[in-house]
Amino acid sequence: MDTIGNLPAGSSNVGVVLAASGISKTYKQGVWPFRRRNHVLEGAGLSLNRGEIVGLVGENGSGKSTLMQILVGALPADAGSVELHGSMGYCPQRPVVFERLTCDEHFELFGVAYGLTREERRAAQARLYDDLDFARYADERADRLSGGTLAKLNLALALLPDPMVLLLDEPYAGFDWDTYLRFWGMVGRRRESGQAVLVISHFIADEERFDRIIELREGRTAPK
Ligand SMILES: Nc1ncnc2c1ncn2[C@@H]1O[C@H](COP(=O)(O)OP(=O)(O)OP(=O)(O)O)[C@@H](O)[C@H]1O
């Protein structure tokens, strides 16, 4: 597969921030002679434009998380290409945090990893604590957070560098109603500033919140 590259400057797809095509992925399971091949993706593709909120739906096991991990570069595809214009943030389905670090320490660590200055990181951190309403857990260790607060930290860490493209794998599964509404408020502000968001979603009720919905079925993507 082509490595993630930047779309060329002056590309005719001026509004496109992420473009993937021909993505295929087969998982091999078991050992010979019982080896089984699971063809999860067979030529899937999608594109995201500036200021677009796109939903990715499909039944359980259809390959949504697999596709998202390939888009973000966390998993190699067998075939296909992914082109990215700008920075990307990713919020995985299962939080990737360090049990013994506090929320504040996570922001500090991720700020360094993203190359933010201390001032940039502090300003973004304060805004995220406020937007997601979890500043009171700043000094709490990750292994002592509730599932919902852990999900807030997971989302906040993806948002910390304010990426052009945000990929979210079922980000609000553990959120209460107030946090769910705060989440969509944040997504709406990103749309207004021209950033793009791709969300794996299971809730039919969410459909009206998206500009477009893409369905993954039998390894391929199609507009819903
Ligand atoms: N690391 C792996 N090794 C082998 N098989 C895998 C692996 N990860 C996923 N699979 C299989 O690939 C298929 C697609 O899984 P994936 O998690 O991408 O689906 P999904 O659409 O995100 O599912 P869900 O809606 O349940 O979260 C499933 O059959 C799953 O069992």
Fill in the amino acid letter for 77: A
* 43 Cα: distance to centroid of ligand 1 (angstroms): 16
State which ligand 1 atom lies nearest to the alpha carbon of 93.
27
Do residues 147 and 93 touch, judged by C-beta distance below 8 A?
Answer: no
Pocket test for ligand 1, best of 25, 26, 27, 93 (most atoms within 8 A of CB): 27
Please confirm whether the linkage preceding 161 is cis (ω < 30° from 0): no
Domain ranges of the chain: 1-85+205-224
Architecture of domain 1-85+205-224: 3-Layer(aba) Sandwich (3.40)
Strands (DSSP E) along the chain, which ranges? 5-6, 16-29, 36-49, 53-57, 79-84, 88-91, 165-169, 196-200, 212-217, 220-223
Cα–Cα separations (whole angstroms), residue 203 to 57, 83, 86, 206: 9, 28, 29, 6
One digit per residue, pLDDT tens: the chain, 224 residues? 444 444 444 444 559 999 999 999 999 888 777 888 899 999 999 999 999 999 999 999 999 999 999 999 999 999 999 999 999 999 988 888 999 999 999 999 999 999 999 999 999 999 999 999 999 999 999 999 999 999 999 999 999 999 999 999 988 878 999 999 999 999 999 999 999 999 998 776 778 899 999 999 999 999 98
Q: Which residue has a Cα nearest atom 1 of ligand 1? A: 27
